[in-house]
């Protein structure tokens, strides 16, 4: 979408579409010194909106004494498509975005280490490691004020056909949000179909894909349980999800810099390492209702350990080597980054 068209769409959205901000506390408009627009891709019924973004906005408004007002616009209400969110924040079309880093392939490559197969363990551990890692290796985020980086609970296979073995994946068309996920699916012998998460219902209903990789928390908002009959995770004591996806909450840097020192402190207090554990717990808790709902409407499959071993052998090495090769092209030592990320994962898993 061209910039002029995007700006026009956003203005029209701001004037003609009532934003949804379920559960946000009421703050008198006249008391606000600054109003921030927060834009994201999911509907307001999604746990990410209700359990993460709304409480975050509430905290900022409360701790600023009402001087900062945060208006949340879910479901791309201000225009554009999900892959444009990162650029919208960078350019200042909106003040803050929540988005999937992999929607802009090749842009935020160093954090992809946390998306590699069989790397992620749980959201709290990974979130803490991810933030520490990015504080040292965060040059790709220099155009933003980073508020939070996080992952979800991990990908499960939600499929039209049962996936019980590693070979069952061969020949399937599988939706993925990221390029690392695409490499992993190719290594499985399947065909990756990249798309933002809002397209999943249409893709499943029209049989564009046979399966999708998403956590349970988002299945309810997208009604995936009505479109598939099988849900597969891994029978592994340490890693029951094959990989995860990285996200960011990021603010336009000029907007942040324009705030008074007092208000910047409020944003800082609600940013960074202090958010990692809280967001991790939010996403872990959000899995429960989605899992229960899926179990009521479909078969829950645990891929047996011997099959998990086959899947690991097919994906972990090849995908990791491919990522290391891609990082080398960018002048980065992928193996050193992996070692650093693993050390942080070990530190925070204790």
Give the model's pLDDT for residue 16.
36
> Per residue in 226-270, pLDDT tens?
999 999 999 998 888 999 999 999 999 999 999 999 999 999 999
Q: Taking the alpha carbons of 167, 310, 181, 349 in that order, is the dihedral positive or negative?
A: positive
Handedness of CA 201, 205, 206, 210 (dihedral sign): positive
Least confident of 8-17, 204-213, 290-299, 327-336: 8-17
Cβ-Cβ contacts under 8 Å for 154 (sequence gap 6 or more): 120, 215, 239, 240, 241, 242, 243, 244
| pLDDT confidence band for 139 (50 / 70 / 90) | very high
Confidence check: pLDDT of 180 > 80: yes
Domains and CATH numbers, the chain: 3-107+122-153+245-286 (3.40.190.170), 156-243+289-348 (3.40.190.170)
pLDDT at 134: 98
Which residue's structure tokens are 């994906």? 315
pLDDT at 30 over 80: no
**pLDDT (0 to 100) of residue 18:** 36
Please count the residues of the chain.
350
Rounded to whole angstroms, the Cα distance separating 279 from 51 reads 9
pLDDT at 1 over 50: no
Tokens found for residue 67: 């001087």
- Kindly report whether the global pTM for this prediction surpasses the value 0.75: yes
DSSP assignment letter at 192: E
Residue 68, CA distances (Å) to 17, 74, 170, 187 in order: 22, 19, 51, 47
- Predicted local confidence at residue 12, as pLDDT: 38
Could you give the CA distance from residue 306 to residue 308 in angstroms, rounded to a whole number?
5
Quote the mean pLDDT of the chain.
Answer: 92
More confident residue, 7 or 324: 324
Residue 323: name the closest of 156, 183, 162 by CA: 183
């Amino acid at each position: 979408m061209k910039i002029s068209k995007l700006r026009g769409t956003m203005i029209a959205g701001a004037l003609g579409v009532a934003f949804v901000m379920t559960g946000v506390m009421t703050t008198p408009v006249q008391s606000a010194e600054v109003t921030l627009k927060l834009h994201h891709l999911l509907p307001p019924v999604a746990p990410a909106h209700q359990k993460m973004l709304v409480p975050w906005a509430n905290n900022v408004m409360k701790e600023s004494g009402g001087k900062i007002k945060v208006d949340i616009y879910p479901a791309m209400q201000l225009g554009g498509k999900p892959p444009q969110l990162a650029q919208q924040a960078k350019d200042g079309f909106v003040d803050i975005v929540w988005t999937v880093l992999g929607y802009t392939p090749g842009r935020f490559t160093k954090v992809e280490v946390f998306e590699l197969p069989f790397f992620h363990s749980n959201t709290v551990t990974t979130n803490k490691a991810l933030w520490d890692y990015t504080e040292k290796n965060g040059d790709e985020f220099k155009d933003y004020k980073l508020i939070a980086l996080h992952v979800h609970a991990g990908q499960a296979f939600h499929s039209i056909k049962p996936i019980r073995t590693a070979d069952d994946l061969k020949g399937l068309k599988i939706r993925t949000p990221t390029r690392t996920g695409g490499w992993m699916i190719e290594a499985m012998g399947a065909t990756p179909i990249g798309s933002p998460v809002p397209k999943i219902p249409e893709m499943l209903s029209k049989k564009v894909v046979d399966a999708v990789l998403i956590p349970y928390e988002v299945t309810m908002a997208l009604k995936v349980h009505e479109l598939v009959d099988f849900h597969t995770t891994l029978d592994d004591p340490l890693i029951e999800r094959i990989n995860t996806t990285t996200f960011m909450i990021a603010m336009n840097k000029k907007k942040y810099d324009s705030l008074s020192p007092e208000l910047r402190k409020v944003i800082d207090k609600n940013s960074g390492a202090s958010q990692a554990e809280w967001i991790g717990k939010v996403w872990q808790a959000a899995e429960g209702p989605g899992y229960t709902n899926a179990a009521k409407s479909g078969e829950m499959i645990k891929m047996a350990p011997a099959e998990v071993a086959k899947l690991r052998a097919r994906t972990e090495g090849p995908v990791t080597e491919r990522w290391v090769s891609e990082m080398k092209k960018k002048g980065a030592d992928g193996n050193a980054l992996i070692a650093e990320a693993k050390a942080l994962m070990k530190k925070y898993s204790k």
